[in-house]
Each structure stands twice: as structure tokens, then as C-alpha cells.
Structure 1
């Protein structure tokens, strides 16, 4: 990039110029980084008439008015000329001395506005300056100033307006101006401005042309009208018109920034220090591999990824996982891959947000691999991701997806507990020998012929006898069906289906509730897609629900006893231990609960309304309560209708209204969940 640096330095040093220069490059290519770390330091070394240049950098991102630009320039210039460590009154004195030395007549009246608008005891002087009604352009002397306008394509000011504004500095003040932007996005932005007006003008012109051409038939006129409007819009307002005209007048030279990837990566690494710098330096080939694979050419995202991983690296050391080097490199790889996918908005990356663990990731991958031939669908996002970044991976042996990293990359939040939970789980797994059924249901391709034949028979026998956890039966049927199709297992479909169906029921009777069942069932299969897989999937869900019901049965029963005996403890537990437990789903005796409701004091009846509002405030976990809440509401309505009005019945009626609102909220959540899963 030396030629760009040398050319811009020569432009700045040149005595008289009447143009600006444009540093053009794609988003995230490192233009701003190049400015801050190469161009600006070189410009600040230049002296004109023995004085250093004052370099003022302005980002136009999100700026809505020219007045706002003026204020930004003023404050940036003020920051350059006034030492930050000086006290407030010294800052004002410096500003006053500055204006006197520069003989800026107009600035004196503006300075008076500033001084009298400030409150030393109130907010900071910068905030006051920003809100004061000052003509900031009258306050600045642009002699020996170099202006840099970044993010031109991301301003909210009309393109012609902001370019005309910048042109004033060049023509009126003779200021050196450097513009940093993505020229492709400038053209796209300009073409999308004032679309309605452009369309109307183009339509008017098209109608005139049509009327003047009387030889054309009406039918032909109608068929070509749309294309004529588009043609005239491009002719009148295309990117080659206004933008090109203003650019030719304003921009003297355009430099396209196309950095050397390896040089920039090396520069980014050198920004860090200590053990972290040493670590990423030793794994530079991983950075290069994932950067090239992503095809993004986006150094800004790479910088974000390295910043995120610096936090992970520090936590890894803090929690004394330093000896688990294989885990750390897996974290590094996924941080890079996830960042390039999420932060550049690759289509489908939202699927990561729906996954809860490494298990759900591998299950989703495997389910697609073994059902895609039946679906006749293109690759899923997860499979595309694996094939892109981890082409030679073993989905069961290799750790790929980590939920705490996905949350950190997507939301910028680091959850210590989730980090520790996932890391401890990986450490435990690395120390144990995989059971044969896990080896078969995910890693069968690595088995020898003898191992495969032996294990398929042994595991089938265990599955038939219910000696494998019920959560694996859908996947087991999927694999054994695949083995039969490929001639690897000598049984027919019906025999396998009956054997596994029987084994699933037996397994359910000796199993415990699985809290993270979703991890083993994503993606859910519909009955239309695959009736057999759907059957196993549905049975697994039913078994788990019954196990959950049994698990909570005694706990909820004890809670309901407190409802009448110790309401204060009941209310405390309801919003803590049982906040996400569908208590009415497990407590099926609505009649008994209703009788208790009639016995509690009026104050507790009123309090119950508030408790239920909080518990059922769009909490997905409580969807199962919908039907029993309806039954309870009907019981209350029937009682109120058949009895005389009194305070108790009034409060019960209010409780009924609250229940109705809770039911609506839960049904809305259920609908959203169903639509998301469809």
C-alpha cells in the first residue's frame, strides 16, 4: 500500500489543490484501520511553514444534518488544540487565545454564545457545546487542516447535499480533504433515494414519449411501459449522472484499497500483547485458513473475532483449563467461523440461535445427512457450515459448536456459568470411553468390519430389550434403516421397527426425565416427511413428558398444600422454584384447587392475580397449563354466575379476567412456537 500512502502524502504537501481524494474499498476491508495506523501518522509528521498539520477525522455514519457535521468538526478540532488534562476554565481560555491569535472575527460572537450557554456546575462542556445554537462553521479556521470524512455511504444526509458540503471546503477554503468510502454502496444508496419522485418523473416522461410515437399500437405501448419507465429512471437518475457529475468536480484521484491479506492479519495480531498475542501468533495459520474460507475479505469482523477470543482465552486461563489445549483450539476455530457467518449476515446463520448445545448441533447434522435423500432438499445451513469450515471433521469426535461462543458473537454477552458448564462437560467426555451405541450411532464409519458386524448385532439386542436410553431410539431407527438399505444389516424394516418400538417402551419405564431433550431431537420431523421417524420422535416426547410429570408430581403436590396452609411461602416458591413449572398441568385436580381457592382470605385471592400475571407473562415453559387454566376459569365463572355478589365473588371475577389474559398470552406463545417449528 506504499503507493497509496505516497500519493496521498504528495497531495497533502502540494501547495494548491482544488480537489479531494477518495480512498475506496469494500466494507470491512480495513480502510479505516489503514487510515488510523498508516496514513494519519504519516500526515501528522508533515509540517507546513514550520507548523504541524491539524488532522480532523469525522465519521459520517448515521449523521442526519450538516449542522451535526459542523459540530463534529468543531469538537474534533477543539480536542486537537486543547489538552484534555486542563481544567474547565483553562479550556475556555485556550479557545479564546486560539481565536485571538488566528484573527477570526466571526468566531468571537460565536464564542460568546458558547461561554454564556455553558454551566460549569452542570453537564460536561462538550455536551453543552453540542446542544448550543452556535454557527460552528464560523468558529473554525481551516488553514493547515486536513479533513478526513469516513463512512460516506452510511450517512443519512442526501448524497448530493453532503458532497456539495464537502466541495465547499475544497473550493472555498482550499482544505485538503480525504474521503473514505465504499464507492459501490454510494452508487446503490444514491439510486435508492427519492424513489417515489424519480418514478413519477420517469412515468411522466414515458407517457410523453408514448404519445409522440403514435404509430405504436396500444397493446405494444402497454407491454413496454414498465421497461420504458425503468429505462428513463436510469437515464435521468442513474448512478452515472448526479454522483458521477459531482465526483468529477470534487474527487481528483481515487485510490482503491485492496490490502495484502497476510500483512493485515499480521498487523492485527501485533496489536495484542502477552500470552494472548503469542497464542494467536502460534496459530496464525488457523486465522488465515478460516479467513480465506469465509470469502468475506472482512478484516473488521476478523478484529471483532480476535477481540472476542481474547476474552475466552483469558477466562480459559483464569478457570485453570490451561492444560486442555485441544479444547481451546476448538474454541478458537468456532469463534472465527461463527463470527464470519453471523457478523456478515450469511443466510441461515439464525439456525445457530435455536441450538442449545454441541449435542443439538451434531444431531441436526446427522438427521439431515440421513434424511436428505428422502426430502430431496438442498443442504441445510448447518451442513453447509460444516462442509465449509470443517470438511474433514468427525461430527461426533470433533467438537464444533459451542453455545457460549455463539451468544458472545451474536449478542456480545459472555456467560461465565455457561462457559464453565460447556468446558467441564467436554473435559468429562474426553476422559471417558464412548459406549458402543454412541460409536455406532455417529462414528460407525471408523469401525473395522469385525467391529461393525459385532456392534450392530449387540446394540440391536440392547435396543430391543430397552437397555439403551429412550432418547436415542429415533436416531437408532434412522441408522438401522440406513444399514438395511445399504445391505449392512441382515433384517427387514418391519422387524427392526417392531423391535425398537417395543424396546422404546421398556426403556421409558426405567429412564429418568431428560431436561435437554430438544438437543437430541432437532430438527423435528413431521409425519408427512417420514411417518416412521415421526412415530419414534413422538413416543420419545410423550415418554419424557410423563417422566417429567412423575418427577414434579410430589413437588407440586407439596406446593399446593402450602396454598391453603402457608400462602406466603406458596407465593415465594411459585415465582422462584416453580416459575417455569406448569403446575396446573401436573396438579390435575382442578376441583380440589378451586375449593381451596374459596377458603383462602380475600387478600390472598387478590394477591394470586398478581402472582399469575408474573408467572404466565409469555413464559414458554408454562404452555402446558393452558387447558387446566381454562377449566379453572370455567369453574370460577360458573360459581360467580350462580351466587350473589359479594367481595369474594367480585375478587374471583377479577381473577377470572386475569386468567383469561394469561391464557391469551400463553396461546400466543404457543402459536409462535408452532410457527417457528413448522
Structure 2
């Protein structure tokens, strides 16, 4: 009968087995890039295949060893389960140096486990004593020394490790594989290792599909939907992973990605309550898979971490830079370079919740993730409005798959929604670009379009919300081809945004004043939380001092204590820059308290708390001298509100 031909996937297996079956006095070296999966392959694939041959493989890391006795101890700890199995005690030899210097103290612990270990060791010694004491009778053992390049340099330089391996392979015909990461060992030392103990060097290169399926097989209870999704994305995953180490795939990173991406994917595949979002599941998964891959790869490379995002979080800035290039002389941030590398055709979105989870800064916060999804896909009141469905469709990279006519039709719809004022303020520059790109398919007059945008923005002024970072959407420079049109949008966007800010602050002031009087605990909790927020909005600057002091006088002592604390927290010198309206509130409140104390004699705990409020206000005003900035809001109280 003819021999079965060796298929490509079996070649490495055949090479390694050929070494085992030969009479040799040398070791072989298995090299490959870091993370290529060498150790994983030996432990999970090759060792399993060895079972039918009677061979048993062990892997021993040389990282952290300080002496040859350490090596022997580690070998013993790997061998012990084998030695306790009489079936494996057959003929031929392994040098008795493997056990002659066992340090039993390294097996002794405080948890009582050693008692049985020592008894077994004594029993094993008796059994070995019945055979030749010079040797341990284990015929088919393969020792794989891992992390050669991470071994103690002194032990490599004086050849202790190489001498020990040499004694095993030359004097006792022991089978040894030395695992090394390509390019990590100095060239001179690499040549020395090959000359002294290595007979053959085998380069390890896995078939991606085989390794991919093997790692998927190790996942705990993955759903069929998840497996289908990642298998359909296999080419994308492969291409992204090549960014880490050229053509050499780091399978450690692949395993990390698949394990951490699974909860994200499963959460999305379970569906969203908002039907419009649920309809976007495939697009969301596509974006999240690529984003997660980028973060995992660069995190494992050490380029980014939980705190060092290098501008990746500025996705809006990136999109604007791509849409409105302002010259090739602009220096890119590291984050921009990464985004260009992984997302050359747009489609990038940043998710703080996913980034923190993948870089070890947080658990997978599903609530925060959902809020980010809603923001990125313009979900309002549990729906994506018709105009933003069009916007999302035209902003996604997949829009290029449209037919020419469909693109014209969708662009026309976008224009119609825009000129009727149905978009958020910050989106108009991008919408202008969407309408005129690809040769101005609507043949529209640019100035006419800008005029209609300005009119629409003014007409819908009451619907616009304040955008703190609006300036990020207004970055087109004077050298831009369409600067004359964008520059007409920016002033009205700024004007309407400031008006929206005033309205927003007025609403907040009313809410704060209302909660101060009728739901103080709610207000207290919110303002304390706001203190932790770098963009802190908590302030009493728009509150009437009379309302604050009257509420203080009527409150129980426990609430008076809290109100004193809240004043100190809200107006710590480091909280945020004081504006004039803050100073006015504090000054007029102090005037009220001082006038009250001048007319009334205070005593007991309640009186002491009023005195404490007075001292807190004096200290706060004194601490903040010189820190007063320009007024950012108009105080909503007047002098006549003061208590007489």
C-alpha cells in the first residue's frame, strides 16, 4: 500500500517526528517571531499528536532561572506526574542528573500539600531503587526549552545552559527542542548555540486559518452567531494583525482580541431596544471589530495604554482633518497616524467604554457603551430621525457601494433636510462637504447653499443645544479651496451656540434653584458628583442669594452642615476659574449673612452653623481674589432681592 502523502499542514509535525525517530546527539531549534504560536503549537497540537507514538513532551521556560539546579528542579516538577505513572517507566535512559539535586524545600509550602508529595517521592525513590540507580527509566521523553533569549545572560555567556543541554543530547541521546524568538538573541550567541548543540533549525510559521480555528476552539462557550461573525471577518482580522509585526502574525494578540471582543460582540448581537439601532447592528459590529482590533494590537505593542490615548479619542478632529485637508505640512499626532493606518477610508469612531475595557482600565460598561452608541448614531428619544438615517448612510464608508443614482437621490434628501434646519449645529460643515463632494452631483450653487444653511440655522434657533467643543468643527484654514463658504458658516454657528449656552445655563440655574428649595438631597448629590468632573458645571452663580440664605435658615441643622460643605466644595480654589457672577453671588450672600447676624443674636448649634457659613464665605472670597475671569452668565437676581 502506498504511503499517504504529507499535506502542507503536516510538514512541521513530520519534521519534528523525524527528529524523534532518528538516532541523534544534537538538539533542534524551533524559531519564529514573538507571538507566532510556537509554544502554543507544541503544547496544544504536537504533544497531542505524540500520544499515539508513546512520546511525552514537557515544556520548560528558562526565564528567571539562576542555576543549573533551578533547571533540574523545574524539570523534576514537570516530570513528577509522569514518573508517578508506571506505564511510562520503560527502557533506555535519561541522565540521573535530572533528579540528583532536587531541592525538596521548593516543593514544601504552608498549605499541607507537600505531605502527600513527599510520601509519593519516597515511594517513587523506592521503586527507582529496584532498577539501576544510575538512571531514570523513561524512554520516550521530549524536553522543550522555551525562552532561551530570556535566560540569565551570565548563564548563557559562560555556557552553563548550553553545556547542560549538550550533556543531555550527546551523552544520553535525550531529545531536546530549543524554542527561540527570531532576532531576539544576539547574532554571535545565536551562532554559538547552533554550533554547540543545534543540529537543525526549523522556522515556525503557522497557517493563519489553522491557528485561528484553534484559538476559536479554546474560547469558552462562544455562540454560533459570534463564530459566524468572526469567521466572516477573518480576512479583515488577518490584515489588521499584519500591522503589528509585518507578515508575522502575533497569535497572542489574536487570542487576546478574540477573548475580549466576544463580550462586546455578544452584547450587540443580543440586539438593541431601539429598532433603528438594531437595524444598524451589522454596521456597528463592523466598526467595533476594527476599532477593537486596533486597540488590542497597539496596546499589546505598548504604544497605547489606558491613560495614553495619543489623540485616538479625538475622532471628530480626525474626521474633520480628513474631510478638510489644510496642507501637507501639518504634523500628525500619533493617534492620527494610527487612525490613518487602520482606517484609511474613514469609518472611524472612538468608544471610551471599549477602549478602557480593552486596555485594562475598566470593566465592560454596557450602559456607558449604549450611551456612546446612541450619541454616535444620533439616537434621540429612542429613535434615529429620518434625516440622520440619511446622514449616517452617507457618512459610512459603505456609501461607496451605492449606485450613482442612489448616491444622487440620498444626497438630495440630505440637502432638503439641511435647508429646512433639521440637523444639529455642528453637522452643517460636514453636510456641506457631503453635498458638494464627487463633483457636485446636484449641480448646486455653493453660495446659494450656504445662504440657505444660514437661514435654516437662524430659523431653528430655539432647537439648538449648546456644543462645548464647537470650535473643533470649524478648522478649515484660509488656504482651503472652499474657505470662503465655510467662513460664512462659522460666525453664525458661534453666535447661535453662545445663545444656546445662555439658554442652557438659564435652564440649569432654574433647576438648581428649584432643587435647592424642594429636593436638596438630589442637588447635593449631583453637585458633589460634578465636582469630580473636569468640565464642572455646578455653580450657584445664577442663583438668587436670598433664596439660598432663606433655604439655609429654614433647613434642619443636618442640612445646614451639608450646605456649608457644598459651598466649600463648589468654590475650592482649584475647582475652576471663578467668573464675575460667582463672585457676585458669594459677595451678596455674605452681605445677607452679615446683615442677619448684625440684627439677631445667634446661639446653639443652628447659630453656630450660620457663623460657620459666614466664615466659609469670607475664606472663599479671600482665596479667590485675583482668580476672577470675565462674566460667562448673567446673574438672574437683583439687588432688591437682599433681605432688609
After superposition, where does 1:57-206 map in structure 2 within 5 Å?
A: 57-58=60-61, 60=63, 63=64, 75-78=77-80, 107=102, 110-111=103-104, 118-120=110-112, 144=138, 146-153=142-149, 157-158=152-153, 161=156, 164-174=159-169, 176-187=175-186
Q: Which whole-Å CA distance do the structure 2 matches of 1:82 and 1:614 have between them?
A: 67
Cross-structure match for 2:39: 32
Q: TM-score by structure 1 length?
A: 0.60
**Alignment CA distance shift 1:487-1:278 (3 Å):** closer
Please give the root-mean-square deviation of Cα atoms over the aligned residues, in Å: 6.0
Partner Cα separation in structure 1 for residue 357 and residue 473 of structure 2: 24
- Secondary structure of 2:179's counterpart equals strand
Quick one: distance in 2 between partners of 1:483 and 1:663? Answer: 57
Specify the alignment match of 1:462 in structure 2. Answer: 420
Match of 2:29, SS state, is strand
Residue aligned with 1:253, SS: strand
After TM superposition, give the deviation of residue 9 of structure 1 in Å: 3.5
3-state SS in 2 of match to 1:583:
coil
**Residue 35 of structure 1 aligns to a residue in which SS?**
helix
Residue 506 of structure 2 is aligned to residue 574 of structure 1: no
Show CA shifts across 1:366-421 (max 9, x none). 5233311556648888888788767788x5xxx97666554543447322324555
Q: For structure 2, list consecutive stretches of 5 or more residues without a partner in the other structure.
A: 1-8, 86-95, 119-134, 244-248, 599-607, 630-644
Conserved 8 A contact 1:152-1:180: yes
Query: In the alignment, is the contact (CA less than 8 A) between 1:484 and 1:490 conserved in 2?
Result: no
CA deviation map 1:142-186 (0-9, x unaligned): 87464433344456x437548845324313455644332322133
Corresponding residue for residue 303 of structure 1: 255
Deviation per residue, 1:100-134 (Å, 9 max, x gap): x9996654xx437865x6353xxx769x99xxxxx
In the alignment, structure 1 residue 475 sits paired with structure 2 residue 430: yes
| 1:461–1:283 Cα change, 3 Å | closer
| 8 Å Cα contact 2:411-2:435 kept in structure 1 | no
1:23 touches 1:180 (CA, 8 Å); kept in 2?
yes
State the partner residue of 1:507. 460
What does the per-residue CA deviation read over 1:505-540, in whole Å, with 9 as the maximum and x for residues that have no partner? 4433x115368x76x875663888878265456446
1:525 aligns with 2:475: yes
Residues 419, 472 of structure 1: alpha-carbon distance in 2 compared, 3 angstrom cutoff: closer
Q: Which residue of 247, 262, 266 corresponds with 2:209?
A: 262
The structural deviation recorded for 1:488 is: 3.7
Measure the CA separation in 1 of the matches of 2:213 and 2:364: 27
Normalising by structure 2, we get a TM-score of: 0.62
Conservation of the 8 A alpha-carbon contact between 2:76 and 2:98: no
Compute the displacement of 1:257 (Å): 0.8
CA contact under 8 A between 1:348 and 1:381: conserved in structure 2? no
**2:542 equivalent among 555, 564, 587:** 587
Cα deviations across residues 412-470 of structure 1 (Å, max 9, x unaligned)? 7322324555678869799864469848985799566985896687557535xxx6543
**1: CA distance between counterparts of 2:521 and 2:564?**
14
Once residues 288 and 261 of structure 1 are traced to their aligned partners in structure 2, the CA distance between those partners, rounded to angstroms, is 10
* 1:292 match: 239
Q: Any idea what the Cα deviations from partners look like across 1:643-663, whole Å, max 9, x if unmatched? A: 99x998788767877899999
Residue 296 (structure 2) pairs with residue 343 (structure 1): yes
2:511 counterpart of 1:550: no
CA distance in 1, matches of 2:414, 2:282: 34
- Pick aligned residue for 2:195 from 248, 258, 261: 248
Q: Label 1:653 to 1:102 Cα distance change in 2 as closer, same or farther (>3 A).
A: same
- With 317-326 and 169-178 compared, the bigger mean Cα shift is at 317-326
- Greater Cα shift, 160-169 or 25-34: 160-169
- How many residue pairs get matched? 547
Question: Take 2:453 and 2:503, find their aligned partners in 1: how far apart are those partners?
Answer: 19
Does the aligned pair in 2 maintain the 1:5–1:39 contact within 8 Å? Answer: yes
Richer in helix (by share)? 1
| Partner Cα separation in structure 2 for residue 165 and residue 365 of structure 1 | 55
Indicate conservation of the 8 Å contact 1:22/1:255, yes or no: yes
Q: Is the 8 A contact 2:148 2:179 kept in 1?
A: yes
Contact persistence 1:152–1:179 (CA under 8 A): yes
Q: In the superposition, relative to structure 1, how do residues 294 and 248 fare at CA in structure 2: closer, same or farther (>3 Å)?
A: same
Counterpart in the other structure of 2:267: 315
Q: Residues 32 and 180 of structure 2 are in contact (CA less than 8 Å); yes or no, is this contact kept in structure 1?
A: yes
Could you tell me how far apart the structure 2 residues matched to 1:12 and 1:664 are? 82
Gaps of 5+ in 1: 84-100, 130-140, 188-238, 356-360, 668-678
Q: Distance in 1 between matches of 2:84 and 2:572?
A: 53
Write out aligned runs for 1:431-442 (5 A). Answer: 433-434=386-387, 438=391, 442=395
Secondary structure of residue in 1 paired with 2:40: helix
Partner in structure 1 of residue 125 of structure 2:
none
